[in-house]
Structures are given as structure tokens and as C-alpha cells.
């Protein structure tokens, strides 16, 4: 009896009645392949043609995924493709215009929240531009206030979704300070206040999370000001705003203007030498305009216009210089000389609020190294501790919302322990 063999044709070409028939779905497969090629290939093609994506939201453009990451290469491709699609800004503007013009509400753009520092976030529904703080209660990425002002939603979320309670965070601050001082070094912590703290008058009368924002703030600042080595800038920032006739925070940005950076620089220098700023002279020298970081969070655009300043530490020479805002690796900022400048070596862990202070730190510190504290999570503070151990003074700048959240990377117990160990291994003998 002869053995049966499979028909010498593709199974999709068999008669439909045949038991081995399988449809090829050629048209559907071709459509899927074309869609995939367009989605993944269009960003690369647009780059070749000279179209360059821009940062239109409050985060850096996603980098091309690493093929060595296994399946993560494919899962990370989505973020890269989204960020690098040509005409993305125009598309977002169109969606925003239609949503607000036709429906009278901001669009849901499906973004993840971004901020100056990590906060404890409970995501809202899939595709939402809000964060859930209680069942059925969400906070938008940007809160639209009075008189055209906007505020970070993270100012609220950080209080309503705390990863650790405030006293645990204070314990971390205390252990860090005690470890620094035990190594023979001076410790200074600068708390950069949130805009909701300094300019609350332009918040809406009611908004999700208002109660927990006020409750945590009432608890937070008494705890902070009771800690040795903590600099409270609130009074000076408000006083400077009164002198200017406007707040030191722009209406459309979550960070302070240069005036805030100057206040921080002065207070940091005085924490090391109380009378060193007596001859300091500052004057506005140049107006600048930059894109606002808060409106893009809800599909809008905006511009901030401010002034940069000169800083003459000796009353005569302006030693300010513009520096790159990137300090994810240690950056030597201070090279100032002469009277009125801080001569001690200072190692500083900071976040984005230090950006507006860099040119003034450069003009008033002779030996200052800055490093973003987000890097401390990579090795539990080892590299940061090694950098700090090369200096006589340890300074830390953290935005208020990050402290309130209990999720500050530099204040995690394992990071504090890692930094303190490096300092302990390299003590200063006085």
C-alpha cells in the first residue's frame, strides 16, 4: 500500500473543502507589516531627511533602546517612536485645540507624570493624564489656576500619596547630617520650596487634593526648620518677590526664576561663612525667554521671560558664566577667586532647581562640584559618596515636593548608608 504524501502546494492554495486548508490572510498580514514599518521606521526616516524632534514636554526625549536588553528592546521601542515622530508637536496642538474648542476641556494625552524629583505616584486609568490619589479622585499633571497660572500636579500628589511618613524622612535627613559631621565635614541642606508654597494665591479655589496639600505642608515645615543644617528660603523668596513686584516663580513653570537661584546661592555661601556676602553686588544684565515646562503637560505651550544677573562677589568683578544644565556626572562649577568667594571645597547633590543657580555659584565659590542626586539610586550612593568625600563641605538641595513624598532617592536609607560609609572611610582630620 502506497504511503500518502502531503499535496505539493501551499495549504492556502488548497480547496476550502480540503481538511488541510489554512487561510493565508495575506491582505491583513501585509497591512500589519506596513503599519509596523511606518510606526517603527518613520522616526528613523525623518531623521535622515533632516527632521529633528524637540522636547515639548517636561522630560527628555527617549533614547533608542539597547538591542542587548532582550525583550525590553521591543517594549521600550514604543516610547522612542512616540517621542521621535515628526510633526508631533503640531499634532498635540491640534488635539488640544479641538478638545478645548469643541468640548471645553483639556485633552487626555496619555503621558506619564514628570517632575523635578521622584514622587510617589498611583497611576490613573490607562491613557489618562491624571494620577489617582483616592478612589475616584485624580490630580492632573498640571493644575490650571487663576490669572493664567499653572502648577505641577506633583505638588499635590507628593502630599496625598506619600511613600514614607514625614518623620521617617526626617530620620534620614538626620542620619545623613550626623554621618557627614562625624566625618569632620560641614552639612547644609537647601530646601527649594514648591510654587504652591510660595505663590498659593493663584491656585484655584478648589482642586483635588487641596486638603492633604495643606495638611502635609502644615506638618512638613515645622519639622524641617527644627532640623540642624536646613536652610528655609521661604521668607527671602517672598521678600524678593515683593521687591520685584512679582513672584520669583513664573506663572507657567514649576521652577523659580534666576532670583530664586540667587537667593539660594547667597544663603548657601552664608551657611559656610555668615558674613561673606557683605560686598556682593548683583544687577540684571540680560533678558531671556525659554519654553515653559508646565503647559505641555496638558497639551499647551508657553514661554517664560526672565533676567539673568551679574554677581560681583568682591563688589567689582563679575565672575558669572553660563553652564550646561546637565550634571548627571560630577561637574566642577566653582572657579571664582578673590574676596567674597567661598574657598572651602564643596560637594553638592542637587536637582533641577540648582540649574538657575549655576551661574551664580560659579561666581561665588572657588571649588564647587555638583552632581544630580538621581544618580544615587544606581549604586546606593557609592559614587556620590566618593565625590562628596573629596570635599570639606557637603551640601544637598532638594525640592520640597520630593521631601514631602518620602520618595527622595538621596534620602532612602540604603543611599544614606552608602554615602555615609564613603565619608566615614575618608574622614577629615581637623
DSSP code of 151? E
Residue 302 and residue 252 in contact, taking contact as beta carbons nearer than 8 Å: yes
Nearest to 381 by CA among 367, 396, 392, 365: 396
Q: List the single range of 36-45, 112-121, 183-192, 351-360 with lowest mean pLDDT.
A: 112-121
**Residue 319 φ then ψ, to 5°:** -110, 20
Is the model's pLDDT at 83 over the cut of 70?
no
Q: What is the DSSP letter of 125?
A: S
The average pLDDT across 173-189 equals 98
Q: Are 179 and 419 in contact (CB under 8 A)?
A: yes
Most confident among 24-28, 72-76, 212-216 (mean pLDDT): 212-216
pLDDT, position 4 = 57
Q: Where residue 60 falls among pLDDT bands split at 50, 70, 90?
A: low
Which range has highest mean pLDDT (35-49, 100-114, 123-137)? 35-49
46 vs 248, which has greater pLDDT?
248
Section 104-133 average pLDDT:
49
Mean pLDDT for the chain overall: 84
Q: 217 pLDDT band (50/70/90 cuts)?
A: very high
Question: Among 386, 387, 347, which residue's Cα sits nearest to residue 369?
Answer: 347
pLDDT of 414 reads: 97
Give the residue from 220, 233, 222, 228 showing the smallest Cα distance to 177: 228
Residue 57 above 50 pLDDT?
no
| CB-side neighbour CA atoms (13 Å) of 409 | 18
Which cell numbers hold the place of 9?
502546494
Q: What is the pLDDT of residues 383-410, one digit of tens each?
A: 999 999 999 999 999 999 999 999 999 9
Say which residues have a Cβ less than 8 Å from residue 91's Cβ, sequence separation at least 6. Answer: 85
**Mean pLDDT of all residues in 118-125:** 42
pTM for the complete prediction? 0.75
- The model's confidence at residue 309, banded by pLDDT at 50, 70 and 90, is very high
pLDDT score recorded for residue 219: 97
Grid cell 547633590 in the structure block, residue: 349
pLDDT confidence bin for 53, thresholds 50/70/90: low
Sign of the CA dihedral with 235 first, then 353, 228, and 342 last: negative
Class of residue 110 by CB neighbours under 10 A (exposed 0-12, middle 13-18, buried 19+): exposed
Mean of pLDDT values over 25-47: 67
Residue 299: per-residue pLDDT:
85
* Residues 6 or more apart in contact with residue 132 via CB below 8 angstroms: 122, 123, 124, 138
Amino acid at each position: 500500500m502506497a504511503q500518502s504524501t502531503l499535496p505539493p502546494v501551499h495549504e492556502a492554495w488548497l480547496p476550502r473543502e480540503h481538511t488541510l486548508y489554512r487561510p493565508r490572510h495575506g491582505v491583513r498580514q501585509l497591512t500589519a507589516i506596513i503599519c509596523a514599518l511606518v510606526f517603527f521606521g518613520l522616526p528613523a526616516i525623518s531623521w535622515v531627511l533632516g527632521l529633528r524632534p524637540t522636547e515639548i514636554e517636561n522630560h527628555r526625549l527617549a533614547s533608542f533602546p539597547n538591542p542587548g536588553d532582550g525583550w525590553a528592546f521591543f517594549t521600550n521601542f514604543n516610547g522612542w517612536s512616540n517621542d521621535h515622530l515628526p510633526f508631533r508637536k503640531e499634532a498635540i496642538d491640534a488635539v488640544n485645540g479641538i478638545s478645548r474648542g469643541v468640548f471645553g476641556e483639556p485633552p487626555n494625552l496619555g503621558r506619564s507624570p514628570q517632575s523635578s524629583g521622584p514622587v510617589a505616584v498611583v497611576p490613573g486609568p490607562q491613557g489618562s493624564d491624571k494620577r489617582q490619589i483616592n478612589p475616584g479622585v485624580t490630580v492632573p499633571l498640571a493644575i490650571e489656576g487663576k490669572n493664567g497660572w499653572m502648577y505641577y500636579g506633583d505638588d499635590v500628589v507628593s502630599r496625598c500619596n506619600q511613600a514614607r511618613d514625614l518623620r521617617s524622612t526626617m530620620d534620614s535627613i538626620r542620619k545623613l547630617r550626623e554621618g557627614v559631621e562625624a566625618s569632620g565635614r560641614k552639612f547644609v541642606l537647601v530646601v527649594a520650596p514648591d510654587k504652591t508654597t510660595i505663590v498659593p494665591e493663584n491656585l484655584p479655589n478648589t482642586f483635588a487634593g487641596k486638603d492633604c496639600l495643606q495638611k502635609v505642608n502644615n506638618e512638613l515645615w515645622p519639622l524641617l526648620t527644627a532640623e540642624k543644617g536646613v536652610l528655609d528660603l521661604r521668607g527671602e523668596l517672598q521678600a524678593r518677590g515683593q521687591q520685584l513686584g512679582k513672584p520669583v516663580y513664573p506663572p507657567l513653570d514649576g521652577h523659580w526664576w534666576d532670583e530664586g537661584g540667587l537667593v539660594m546661592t547667597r544663603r548657601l555661601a552664608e551657611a559656610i561663612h555668615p558674613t561673606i556676602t557683605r560686598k556682593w553686588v548683583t544687577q540684571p544684565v540680560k533678558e531671556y525667554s525659554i519654553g515653559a515646562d508646565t503647559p505641555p503637560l496638558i497639551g499647551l505651550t508657553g514661554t517664560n521671560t526672565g533676567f539673568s544677573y551679574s554677581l560681583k562677589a568682591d563688589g567689582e568683578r563679575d565672575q558669572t558664566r553660563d553652564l550646561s544644565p546637565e550634571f548627571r556626572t560630577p561637574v566642577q562649577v566653582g572657579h571664582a577667586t578673590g574676596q567674597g568667594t567661598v574657598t572651602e571645597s564643596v560637594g553638592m547633590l542637587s536637582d533641577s532647581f540648582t540649574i538657575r543657580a549655576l551661574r551664580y555659584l560659579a561666581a561665588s565659590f572657588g571649588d564647587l562640584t555638583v552632581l544630580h542626586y538621581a544618580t544615587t539610586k544606581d549604586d546606593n550612593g557609592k559614587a556620590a559618596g566618593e565625590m562628596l568625600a573629596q570635599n570639606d563641605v557637603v551640601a544637598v538641595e532638594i525640592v520640597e515636593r520630593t521631601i514631602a513624598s518620602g520618595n527622595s532617592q538621596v534620602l532612602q536609607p540604603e543611599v544614606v548608608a552608602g554615602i555615609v560609609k564613603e565619608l566615614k572611610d575618608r574622614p577629615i582630620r581637623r
